[in-house]
Amino acid sequence: MNSRDRVIFSINHKQPDKIPIDLGSSTVTGISGIAYNNLKNYLKIEGPTRIIDVIQQLANVDMKFIDLFGVDALDVNRISAEGNDWYEFRLNNGDIVEFPSWFLPVRNADGSFITKDEDGTIISKMSAESAFFDQMYYPYENGYPENFSNLKADLKKISWIVHSHSSNLNTDELRGKLIELKERTNKALVMSGGVKLLEFGFFIRRMDNFLIDMITDKAKVSELLDIFVDMHLAGLEKKCKAVGDIVDIIRFGDDLGMTSGPFMDLGTFRELLKPRYRVLCDYVKKHSKMKIFLHSCGSIKQYIPDLIDAGFDIINPVQTNCYDMDPLKLKTEFGKDITFWGGGVDTASVINRGSPEEVRKDVLKRCEIFYKDGGFIFAPIHNILSEVPPQNIVAAYNAVREFNGEKALM
């Protein structure tokens, strides 16, 4: 099997020749620029560290690593990362990275960084000790406007939206480059769909306010969610038409859970979110061949049957260190109906704090659980963060290779 075959086979719940592997095919299966620099130094691999996700400070994973680690999926945004519109930037820890030319953070005297919009509003901040930018401005934090006629302009003051990195190529150029990339690499291609419902509410209203609104002001929330659906349908129409026959997986994202449990009861989920997810999933399935990947952190087991029913094919990051997210139970109950893209190594306590041998054992145990009958793409639980030692990253991917019967990286 080539990489794309392997990924599609697994998503279709057929046993592939080996576990498919991901590193950097999305902004939820990526690696921090600092961790990436450390990994480059450890493996003595040269080349720039280009920050493909400026909010989370994630690096574009170079094809040298893709080949070395045996990665089977690629982010279509790597097209823009392979261009020349970048400049060098020194982080507070001394690391040199490259930022896209449109991202121009200002360093304050205390070592923090801020970004502003055209009006001078501070929209994001990274403290001197942090390795990512926090959203600082919430347009409706103090209440909703009388109507949503200015919504699109308001959304442009949200850092997660303004600083989303996407290709600036026209449709024909992008299509041509993706066809060439697919033919040259035989990798599965993953694209962000830009689809968020709950999180758009968090972005614009602030998380605590929006969760309260879902109980106390359902009419206003429903009105806003319907506008979000229409906006996303317009975006999906363009993406499906342009590359829906080339890209293999399209990614949606809504964090539905916390470590301790889900954000909302099942009734609220079914009333406000599930019907709208179904509309969006139905559109993708009707107008493309793409599989639908939902990123949702936290404890989400109670939603999984409804997510399957709504049309999702894949869930990520499979945060098994959360309440009611035991990997064996997830695989046993839902493994025939949904693919687990993630859950491959614990990023909260093992890959960042354990020894290489502890990492190896954790990965092998999880591979044993998730591999049977397909439905599993190996990736860590969410992104590899800045504190993760490079030897532990190597240990994790070596463990998958061991399970697959392949030689170690080193």
Question: What whole-number distance in Å separates Cα of residue 286 and Cα of residue 64?
Answer: 36
Give the pLDDT of residue 347.
93
Question: Taking residues 253-279, what's their average pLDDT?
Answer: 97
Tell me which DSSP letter residue 60 carries.
P
How high is the pLDDT of residue 82?
Answer: 81
- Beta strand 339-341 with 314-316 is parallel
pLDDT greater than 80 at residue 397: yes
**pTM for the whole thing?**
0.97
Q: Rounded to an integer, what distance in angstroms lies between the CA atom of residue 37 and that of residue 39?
A: 5
Q: Please report the pLDDT score of residue 69 as a whole number.
A: 97
pLDDT in tens, 16-74: 999 999 999 999 999 999 999 999 999 999 999 999 999 999 999 999 999 999 999 99
What residues does 32 pair with on adjacent strands? 58
What single-letter amino acid sits at 387? E
Q: What angle do CA 301, 307, 309 make, to 5 degrees?
A: 125
pLDDT average, residue stretch 235-252 = 96
Angle, vertex CA 296, rays to CA 247 and CA 264, nearest 5: 140
Run of H or E residues at 98: strand 96-100
Task: Please report the pLDDT score of residue 318 as a whole number.
Answer: 98
169 has pLDDT over 70: no
Beta-bridge partners for 384: 31
pLDDT at residue 400 greater than cutoff 90: yes
Residue 89: pLDDT over 70: yes
The whole-number pLDDT of residue 330 equals: 98
Return the percentage of the chain with pLDDT > 90, whole number.
95
pLDDT tens for each residue of 196-219: 999 999 999 999 999 999 999 999
* Alpha-carbon gap, residue 132 to 33, rounded angstroms: 10
Strands 122-126 and 113-116: antiparallel
Task: Using the predicted structure, report yes or no on whether residue 193 has a pLDDT greater than 90.
Answer: yes
Residues 6+ apart with CB under 8 A from 342: 29, 315, 316, 317, 318, 319, 377, 379, 380, 381, 382
In single-letter form, the type of residue at position 133 comes to F
Q: Is the per-residue pLDDT at 168 higher than 80?
A: no
**Residue 112 scores a pLDDT above 80:** yes
How far is the CA of 376 from the CAs of 125, 171, 274, in angstroms?
Answer: 36, 32, 24
